[in-house]
Chain A
């Protein structure tokens, strides 16, 4: 046999037999399984929204938004103190997390020399912090911020700092991606024209990545709004009939109010928890719409 004949025979033997009926049946079955899996998420989301709307929407009213919670009378209960508490917490959280998150992201992307061990340590550390359970941040808040070294008490400031530390990794990770998306040619052009490194960052890199950074900040804040466990641990107030009046004030927040009412044996209070969930979800939806708008309107295409 010549070499060509051998090759020819080998090629013929190597041809895979046509797909059998069983193969095709399995493929169809497997596709059904995948549709089912997607269906589970879709169904869960829809049922969840339906359940919350069914229980909560009837209790929604202007009075509900502007009244203080009551321990006894569901009809006259409201979430004014929770709304104000969440607002105060978010202001504190944003004030801390925006400069800190962006500065860290700039450092890691623009300055850090990755061959140095301490820069790698910072990176790995942020990855780990992002996955630390939120209840552990609550312990940090309790032992380090509420009591212990900072001893701020169960105040808005303590709650805001705890939430800020919790979402800081989110801001850093998203801001880094936004900064990385600015192409090196922009930096090189700026440096070639005689700008210093900081001028390049301030005048070129930051404006080019601001949409992505803003999206990251909004994402982080919408995570902070819904966090319950750390606030439970540091000790938010239960059903307060007052709004926080400053950084040193006691507070509650929307998720804490939801938690309190969900635990109530009176079904009418449980429905108020659902109404509070509706308010919180609308708030989250608004924030996410802003994020999507910013991304579409200001995102740079290089």
Chain B
């Protein structure tokens, strides 16, 4: 005998439908992001040849006439250069911290170090920007180290950017190394290796895909970070290697340009979106790589 759906089961179905609609909002968010980026990006490439944008070495959208140029390379370079300086700090500090927390830290030390990292991760980035501009540049780089840096410079912004991503990297490295089964460590110790040898030669290689995922995610965070660079790194698009000079990143360009009250439909308005699209695609690629890598080590050990 087939029963007709009762009021109760219809209610249950309605609940499920409502919950599904909530879940769809996140899909709609992605679609809205892509839609808003794409429409203005297409309009932009109606005015500027795509080759001039991708391979041009001068970024001067604010100028008029012949001086105006839309080569994005200086912005991409600024972004990668600052991220690179950050990673020089964040990779060793993050990996060593994560390794220490996973393999060595006594419980009492963990109880102090974990909250420190959580606090550091919870500090808004504008505070890091303030710190870089008012303390790290003048008091550490100039006074203590005697470097001839500008008020806005890549070195200060980059190093502080690195400090910002240390908690991200350390936490993920700790997770990855903790996921390595104890039997591998016991086997290594049984063969006479000490704890440091075990950590470096057995656990670390076994956790490598997770470690790389951590680094990729850290890099993606640094690439998308805005206010530290806006405040301490300056706003000068530049293709150079001098860390004492001011640079502009893609995210910093977007924030500083959108602040001005620029009219919808102007070419300057469109530059926000085309640079936004470039940034979005770059971080998306990195995120996909990192998700894949994490899935890989989860599959191996869980």
Contact = CB atoms under 8 A, between A and B. Distances in A.
Interface stretch (B62-70, B177-185, B219-227): B219-227
A133 B279 contact: yes
Contacts of B117: 41
B123 interface: yes
Contact of A196 (B8, B32, B100): B8
B275 to A, nearest CB: 9
Interface stretch (B22-30, B44-52, B53-61, B238-246): B22-30
Interface residues on B, range: 35 or more
Nearest to B35: A144
B127 A103 contact: no
A104 B258 contact: no
Most chain A beta-carbon neighbours within 10 Å: one of B129, B220, B261, B290: B129
B15 A31 contact: no
Nearest to A271: B134
B231 interface: yes
A49 to B, nearest CB: 9
Interface in A33-78: 33-38, 40-42, 44-45, 47-48, 51-52, 55
A100 B22 contact: yes
B272 interface: yes
A284 B122 contact: yes
B19 A121 contact: no
A33 B11 CA distance: 61
B264 interface: yes
Contacts of A125: 26-27, 30
A16 B27 contact: no
Interface residues of A, number: 89
A133 B217 contact: no
B93 A232 contact: no
Contacts of B131: 47-48, 51-52
A254 B123 CA distance: 14
Most chain A beta-carbon neighbours within 10 Å: one of B128, B192, B258: B258
Given A51-B134, A274-B130, A34 B25 contact: no
A229 B227 contact: yes
Nearest to B258: A233
A263 B231 CA distance: 7
A139 B94 CA distance: 31
A270 B133 CA distance: 10
Given A107-B20, A226-B125, A233 B280 contact: no
Chief secondary structure at chain A's binding surface? helix
A270 B132 CA distance: 13
B12 interface: yes
B195 A107 contact: no
Contacts of B123: 45, 48, 226, 281
A41 B120 contact: yes
A40 B272 contact: no
A44 B255 contact: no
A293 interface: no
Interface in B188-241: 191-197, 200, 217, 220-221, 223-227, 230-231
B261 A235 contact: yes
A222 interface: yes
B258 A232 contact: yes
A92 to B, nearest CB: 16
A90 to B, nearest CB: 14
A40 B26 CA distance: 37
Given A111-B19, A131-B283, A135-B251, 20 more contacts: A40-B89, A41-B120, A42-B113, A107-B19, A125-B26, A128-B30, A132-B284, A134-B226, A135-B255, A136-B33, A143-B39, A226-B125, A228-B226, A229-B230, A232-B255, A233-B254, A233-B259, A263-B231, A277-B127, A288-B122
10 shortest interchain CB distances as A-B pairs: A226-B124, A133-B224, A103-B22, A37-B96, A143-B36, A16-B192, A229-B226, A107-B19, A27-B196, A34-B100
Interface of A: 15-16, 18-19, 23-24, 26-27, 30-31, 33-38, 40-42, 44-45, 47-48, 51-52, 55, 99-100, 103-104, 106-108, 111-112, 121-122, 124-129, 131-140, 142-144, 147-148, 165, 168-169, 172, 196-198, 222-223, 225-229, 232-235, 255, 258-259, 262-263, 270, 273-274, 277, 280-281, 284, 288
